[in-house]
Amino acid sequence: MSKDIYLSVVIPAYNEERRIGKTLAAVRGFLDKQNYDYEVLVVDDGSRDTTRDIVGIIAEGWPQLKMIANRANRGKGAVVKQGVLDARGRYILFADADNATPVEQLDKLLPYAREYPIVIGSRHCPGAKIHISQAPHRKLLSRASNLLIRILAVPGIWDTQCGFKLFERNAVQNIFANVRLNRFGFDFESLVIARHLGYKFKEVPIEWYNDPESKVRTGREALRTLRDLFKVKLNLLRGLYSKGGYIHRNPLPRR
C-alpha cells in the first residue's frame, strides 16, 4: 500500500458484531472503485462480543484495513480521537459503524475539501434527506439537544452530531489534540475548538437512514449533552483549548 494515502476512514466500534461486517463490505465496495489510495481504521472500544474477531478475519484479505483494539470501554469520543490521530491520509473521514450515512455520501463532501478544512455531513440543513426517521420521542429529544448546542456552543450549524465528518489532516491533528470529552459531546466540542482555532467549515446536506437497533439512549445522552455543553464553555473560559496543540511535521501527500 502506498505511503501517500489520500483518504483515511475511521470507524469507532463497540459491540458491533451484527453490523460491522456489512458496513465494511459497503465501505470496501465504494473505496475500491476510487482512483486514490486509502486506509480504513476500525477502533474497537473494548467490545465484549465478536467485533474484533470479525474485523480481524476481514483484514486478512484486505490490506487497507487496520484495527486498533482497546481492552477497556472509553467512549466514542476517546476512540474517534485515537483513530484520527493515528490516521495517515490527507483527508480523514470518521463514520459510524452502522453506515447510517452511506459511505457514498462522501462524494458530496470531497468537492469542498480544498476550500474548507472541515466538511460536515448534515441531516438537518436544507437539502438533506432522512429516509428512515427516529421514533417521535427520540426525534424530539434529539432536536431539543441540537437546539441547545446551536445556541450555547456552535451557532449557525444545523447538525453537529451527525457521525459523518471530513477533516484535512493538519486540522484534525490540531483540533483533536485539544478534545477532552470522551463520549458523544466530542462532536460539538471538536467544532467549538475548530472555530476557536480559526478553521473554516462547511455543512453539506446528506442522506441518512436511522437504525432502529441504535444503542444510543436518547434521554441519558440529552442529559450528558447539557452537562458537556457547560464543560466546553468552561474549558473555553479557562483557555484550555490551546492553539497548535499538535503540529503535523510531514508535508501533505498530493493526490
Expressed as residue numbers, the domain containing 208 is 7-238
Mean pLDDT of all residues in 133-162: 76
Position 250 confidence tier, pLDDT thresholds 50, 70, 90 = very low
Task: Decide if pLDDT at 29 tops 70.
Answer: yes
Q: Residue 251: its pLDDT value, please?
A: 33
Dihedral sign for Cα atoms in the order 73, 48, 38, 22: negative
Distance, CA of 44 to CA of 41 (rounded, Å): 9
Instruction: Name the DSSP letter for residue 37.
Output: -
Strands 65-70 and 38-45: parallel
Q: Residue 31: its pLDDT value, please?
A: 98
Does 255 fall in a domain?
Answer: no
Does 69 fall in a domain?
Answer: yes
Mean pLDDT of all residues in 13-18: 98
Task: Decide if pLDDT at 216 tops 90.
Answer: no
Does 199 fall in a domain?
Answer: yes
Q: What is the pLDDT of residues 101-144, one digit of tens each?
A: 999 999 999 999 999 999 999 999 999 999 876 666 666 666 67
Does 22 fall in a domain?
Answer: yes
- CATH number of residue 151's parent domain: 3.90.550.10
Q: Residue 1: its pLDDT value, please?
A: 41
Q: What are the strands, taking DSSP E only, across the chain?
A: 7-13, 38-45, 65-70, 91-95, 118-122, 129-132, 164-168, 201-205, 207-209
Cell numbers for 175: 483540533
Does 254 fall in a domain?
Answer: no
Distance of CA 43 to the CA centre of its chain: 12
Q: Residue 247: its pLDDT value, please?
A: 42
Position 171 confidence tier, pLDDT thresholds 50, 70, 90 = very high
Q: Which range among 47-56, 101-110, 142-151, 242-251 shows the weakest confidence by mean pLDDT? A: 242-251
Q: Residue 131: its pLDDT value, please?
A: 86
Does 245 fall in a domain?
Answer: no
Does 228 fall in a domain?
Answer: yes
Q: Residue 244: its pLDDT value, please?
A: 53
Task: Decide if pLDDT at 255 tops 70.
Answer: no
Distance, CA of 75 to CA of 84 (rounded, Å): 15
Do residues 42 and 67 make contact, with C-beta atoms less than 8 angstroms apart? yes
- For the chain, the domain total comes to 1
Do residues 12 and 83 make contact, with C-beta atoms less than 8 angstroms apart? yes
Distance, CA of 255 to CA of 59 (rounded, Å): 25
Q: What is the pLDDT of residues 62-90, one digit of tens each?
A: 999 999 999 999 999 999 999 999 999 99
Does 178 fall in a domain?
Answer: yes
Position 211 confidence tier, pLDDT thresholds 50, 70, 90 = confident
Q: What is the pLDDT of residues 227-243, one digit of tens each?
A: 899 899 899 889 888 76
Task: Decide if pLDDT at 213 tops 70.
Answer: no
